Amino acid sequence: MTDPIRLGIFGFPVAHSKSPEMHRAAARALGISLEYELFEVAPADLAAEVRAKHDERIDGYNLTVPHKETVIALLDEVAPGARAIGAVNTVVRTVDGYVGHNTDAPGLVRSLEEAGVRVVDSTVVVVGAGGAARAAVVGLANAGAGEIAVLARRPEQSEALIESLARHVDCTLEAAPLSEADWHFDSATLVVQATSATLESNPRAGEFAAMLPIDTLPPDAAVIDMVYEPLETAVLARARGRGLNVVDGLGMLLHQGAIAFEMWTGLPAPLDVMREALHD
Ligand code: NDP
């Protein structure tokens, strides 16, 4: 019998993660032996814990908040996309050592494509300018988006994002304050909600959604909310009310996991099984 593929996820906290169930279900469906553990590690302990797992020759791992940026210094190599984004969510053991990737960016693109959203030559508005927004900008630019405007409540945050990403992407980028959303929404073909404002835990999510000028979007525009708890966020509910194409954040979670699974196992990810595990 061959040794199991040994994987895990570093986070703080991490108990809420849906990744273990998703990857275990995929392995069961394909009949392969795979272990996927939770590594709840405080920021101050990350370096020691990651080095210990490398010494044990772990096959690969995921990283979630707050470790996606700090892990970079601990890796042997970082793929160009992840380097541009400044965040790694997937690490793979190779003959050259531990290599970091960002599968959030292509995961977002795959989830949009699956929902029939055209990315090539799109006019995109990204709302928010944190880590998820950075992944969105790089993923969409690499997939052929025409123009991307990044809107943040603190304009200096969107300006810094654009400044740091401009040399990495071949796409027109613009930063603007969220208060100027009207100007950008009326010509957008795709809105990417990349803030944490629509999370279930935010009692003011409804207010945030009401402030976005969803009514000014063209009728053929699409709206994705990266947040998946709840699945139907206040922003998606408004967009659905207008009859727009809406995409929830679970598809991105699924596809970032599927890409990671394929990197670790070399096998095509059983998407339906993984999707079902997420919904459960
Ligand atoms: P960050 O904390 O790095 O960034 C959050 C961003 O949201 C910041 O720009 C922040 O602005 C902004 N923001 C928060 N509240 C508000 C508000 N009320 N009004 C306007 N802007 C606001 O988080 P991430 O970028 O890492 O993640 C964002 C969300 O994306 C998370 O909640 C997560 O659930 C989701 N996500 C989903 C993934 C998926 O696979 N579907 C993958 C990754 C993330 P400020 O700095 O001013 O507070």
The 3-class SS string of the chain reads CCCCEEEEEEECCCCCCCHHHHHHHHHHHHCCCEEEEEEECCHHHHHHHHHHHHHCCCCEEEECCCCCCHHHHHCCEECHHHHHHCCCCEEEEECCEEEEECCHHHHHHHHHHHCCCCCCCCEEEEECCCHHHHHHHHHHHHCCCCEEEEEECCHHHHHHHHHHHHHHCCCEEEEEEHHHHHHHHCCCCEEEECCCCCCCCCCCHHHHHHHCCHHHCCCCCEEEECCCCCCCCHHHHHHHHCCCEEECCHHHHHHHHHHHHHHHHCCCCCHHHHHHHHHC
Distance from the CA of 225 to the center of ligand 1, in angstroms? 11
Taking the C-alpha atoms of residue 59 and residue 238, their distance in angstroms, rounded to an integer, is 43
Q: What is the pLDDT of residue 280?
A: 84
Ligand 1 geometric centre to CA of 252 (Å): 15
In short, whether 195's Cβ falls inside 6 Å of ligand 1 is yes
pLDDT at residue number 90: 98
Q: What is the pLDDT of residue 1?
A: 66
Q: Is 197 in the pocket of ligand 1 (CB under 6 A)?
A: yes
- Which residues of the chain register pLDDT less than 50? none
Environment class of 158 (CB within 10 Å of its CB; exposed 0-12, middle 13-18, buried 19+): buried
Nearest CA to ligand 1 atom 20: 153
Write down the pTM of the prediction: 0.96
Give me the pLDDT at residue 23, please.
98
Taking the CA of residue 68 as reference, the ligand 1 atom at the shortest distance is 26
Q: Which of 6, 53, 67, 68 is catalytic?
A: 68
Ligand 1 center–CA 132 separation, angstroms: 6
Examine the residue annotation and report whether 18 is marked as an active-site residue of this protein.
no
